[in-house]
């Protein structure tokens, strides 16, 4: 759905259109503005809003705008007419009127009807949809079409696709710079984490349409992992505020895994996930069990250092029960302002399997496992050092090796989710 408004004014009405745009800057700044040459220059100078300038009216700027309407790029046209004193060289409204009528586009010709258009726009939300076309195993074009079909009756979508050159994080930063009132992320946990990282601390609501392999963040918050359910959650408009975190400067909405989990995630590459789906992680985990060894670990919290021989260290902000290695306390609470830390220290492969089964069971009944080889704690921040250095995975992406410094950001993220989620996470 387009998010462009066209502005035209006869010479004696140019002061009026500048004053009109200035009066409604909070609404009009949410949209892309195009205008005939002189009108656009006057608006830009008088309001500071960016305006894409066409040719001047006498040179055919109105025809250029008519072409934009005809190709579906404009949602409304405001053409302030001077019905009594218009000069012969000024643009005529007849051709533009016909195009707007054919394509059912609202056209205002005076300040009263222009106010009516602004009133309509005030009731409409604009959502910046950041869509990763390579996420998941479905048909990306069909997924995008369904999202647009479900959301666009109520939300005007400004769609941006990620590419190898244009990351989800950069697209989110661009959306914020353009004054986005809500941002939607569609992809796997890596895409959603990247978008969330840019949104942290802004107060801008984040809509999540999960299309990845694990979809762990959506599951952790109780957000449906099917497109229709996720869109219904966004349209409901209810939000909850959850914690976020940073690990070595990288945004973290789920968890940081050091050791076993990082190696497992690296084994489950995109090709394996495309072929086997979530099963790729299980296969990678079994393979990693055969090779993984304990490593010397130092955990520093508020200046106090403790040492362990660990096989895995998991620091979670939010995690579903299937994120087994995060379940040292039986439940990861995403609204308490604390990180949940689980240190697994199994000495044999059999102990490792038993520990993971116990952790999964603990998550299902939300109680901490009672095992000497699993240590758990909650803290606002910590530093993890290992010997030898271990890989670090943050929200499904390898970011480097230890040491890792992780800090919770309480109430850092506003997410579209059902009210019940805030009570149970």
Residue numbers belonging to the annotated binding site for substrate: 10, 14, 36-39, 56-57, 89
**Residue found under tokens 């998010």:** 3
Q: Which two tokens stand for residue 116?
A: 């009516």
Q: Given 15, 62, 189, 387, which residue is catalytic?
A: 62
d(CA 230, CA 159): 17
Q: What secondary structure letter does DSSP report for 425?
A: -
What sign results for the dihedral spanned by CA atoms 315, 277, 170, 414? negative
Backbone angles phi, psi at 188, to 5 degrees: -85, -175
Q: Return the HEC string of 189-223.
A: HHHHHHHHHHHCCCCCCEEEEECCCCCHHHHHHCC
Query: Which pairing describes strands 125-131 and 107-108: parallel, antiparallel, or unpaired?
Result: unpaired
Calculate the alpha carbon distances from 184 to 75, 128, 257 in Å: 21, 6, 26
Backbone angles phi, psi at 303, to 5 degrees: 85, -5
Contact 252, 244 (CB under 8 A): yes
- Residues in binding site: 10, 14, 36-39, 56-57, 89
11 is catalytic: no
Determine the 3-state secondary structure of 174 from DSSP: helix
Contact 174, 201 (CB under 8 A): no
Which residues lie closer than 8 Å to 98 by C-beta, 6 or more apart? none
Transcribe 103-125 into DSSP letters: TT--EE-SHHHHHHHHHHHHT-E
Q: Which two tokens stand for residue 152?
A: 């666009």
- List residues with catalytic annotation: 62
């Amino acid at each position: 759905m387009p998010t462009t408004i066209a502005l035209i004014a006869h010479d004696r009405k140019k002061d009026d259109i500048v004053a009109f745009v200035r009066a409604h800057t909070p609404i009009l700044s949410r949209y892309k503005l195009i205008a005939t040459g002189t009108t656009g220059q006057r608006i830009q100078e008088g309001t500071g809003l960016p305006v894409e300038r066409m040719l001047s009216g006498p040179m055919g700027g109105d025809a250029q705008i008519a072409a934009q309407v005809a190709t579906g790029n404009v949602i409304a046209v405001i053409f302030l007419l001077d019905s009594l004193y218009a000069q012969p060289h000024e643009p005529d409204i007849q051709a533009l009127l016909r195009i707007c009528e054919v394509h059912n586009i609202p056209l205002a010709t005076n300040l009263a009807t222009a106010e009516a258009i602004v009133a309509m726009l005030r009731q409409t939300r604009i959502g910046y949809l950041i869509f990763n076309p390579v996420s998941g195993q479905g048909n990306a074009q069909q997924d995008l079409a369904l999202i647009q079909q479900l959301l666009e009756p109520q939300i005007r979508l400004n769609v941006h696709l990620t590419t190898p050159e244009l990351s989800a994080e950069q697209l989110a930063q661009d959306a914020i710079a353009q004054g986005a009132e809500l941002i939607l992320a569609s992809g796997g946990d890596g895409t959603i984490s990247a978008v969330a990282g840019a949104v942290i601390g802004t107060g801008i609501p984040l809509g999540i349409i999960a299309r990845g392999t694990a979809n762990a963040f959506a599951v952790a918050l109780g957000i449906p992992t099917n497109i229709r359910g996720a869109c219904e959650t966004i349209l409901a408009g209810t939000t909850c505020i959850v914690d976020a975190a940073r690990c070595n400067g990288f945004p973290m909405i789920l968890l940081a895994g050091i050791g076993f989990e990082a190696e497992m995630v690296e084994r489950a590459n995109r090709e394996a996930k495309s072929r086997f789906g979530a099963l790729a992680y299980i296969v990678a985990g079994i393979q990693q069990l055969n090779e993984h060894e304990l490593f010397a670990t130092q955990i520093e919290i508020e200046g106090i250092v403790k040492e362990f021989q660990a096989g895995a260290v998991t620091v979670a902000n939010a995690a579903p029960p299937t994120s087994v290695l995060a379940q040292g306390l039986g439940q990861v609470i995403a609204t308490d302002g604390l990180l949940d830390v689980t240190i697994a220290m199994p000495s044999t492969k059999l102990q490792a399997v038993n520990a993971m089964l116990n952790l999964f069971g603990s998550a299902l009944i939300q109680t901490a496992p009672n095992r000497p080889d699993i240590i758990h704690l909650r803290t606002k921040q910590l530093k993890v050092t290992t010997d030898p250095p271990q890989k670090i995975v943050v929200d499904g992406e390898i970011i480097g090796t230890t040491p890792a410094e992780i800090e919770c950001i309480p109430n850092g993220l506003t997410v579209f989710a059902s009210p019940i989620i805030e009570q149970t996470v």
